A and B are shown apart, each in its own frame.
Chain A
Amino acid sequence: AQSVTQPDIHITVSEGASLELRCNYSYGATPYLFWYVQSPGQGLQLLLKYFSGDTLVQGIKGFEAEFKRSQSSFNLRKPSVHWSDAAEYFCAVGLSNDYKLSFGAGTTVTVRA
């Protein structure tokens, strides 16, 4: 069955430390891959996307993600987190012959001082 999995429900990280959020997908073909962030009470903001080409993509707010076809993964990273990075992060996939985005369950990031 097609699915998007974010294995970590909640991650706590110290301010200034690095952050990595995991995303795995199960689709027959390589989907289009997205990472969104949602602050409390807000809608979704696109951080970055992967369609093809270079497997390391840069996004906004200092985030980057790496696509690994062999592992069916698209993990999100940030070298040094800021307190403002505390939010919910969603991995999403889209297919060229489909119209919707399918989301993972999300990972909540807490940043401690």
Chain B
Amino acid sequence: ETGVTQSPTHLIKTRGQQVTLRCSSQSGHNTVSWYQQALGQGPQFIFQYYREEENGRGNFPPRFSGLQFPNYSSELNVNALELDDSALYLCASSTGTGGFYEQYFGPGTRLTVT
């Protein structure tokens, strides 16, 4: 059974640029959630995708957007990058959308915005 994978591992971008991060969910999982973890903080929920539809969203601006594909993999897109977007971006997959469904996390993508 393959776990959650994310790419790339590290990324350096310039302020104002756009970035796409990718996530492959664990086999059998149909739900993907994205979290932003700033240095020294706990992860903050960005949004969740269930069966290719956005299922819920945290307190992030519209320049954070996403997609989920028929194979349940997902992308996180961030436009007009700001310095504060520098963080570890974590993807988590689960078999459902409720709070009691265990979420399995990938290793994350470290984004640095200069």
Contacts and interface: CB of A to CB of B under 8 A. Distances in A.
Interface of A: 4, 31-32, 34, 36, 42-46, 49, 51, 90, 92-106
A103 B44 CA distance: 7
A45 B105 contact: yes
Given A42-B108, A45-B105, A101-B99, 20 more contacts: A4-B42, A31-B99, A32-B99, A32-B100, A43-B105, A44-B43, A51-B100, A90-B42, A93-B99, A96-B100, A98-B98, A99-B50, A99-B55, A100-B33, A100-B48, A100-B56, A103-B43, A103-B44, A106-B41, A106-B42
Contacts of A34: 102
Residue of B42, B98, B105 most packed against chain A (CB within 10 A) = B42
Given A99-B97, A103-B43, A105-B41, A46 B102 contact: yes
A44 B102 CA distance: 12
Interface string B18-54: 0000000000000001010000111111001010000
Interface residues of B, number: 28
Nearest to B46: A100
Nearest to A106: B42
B98 A96 contact: yes
Nearest to A101: B103
A25 B50 CA distance: 27
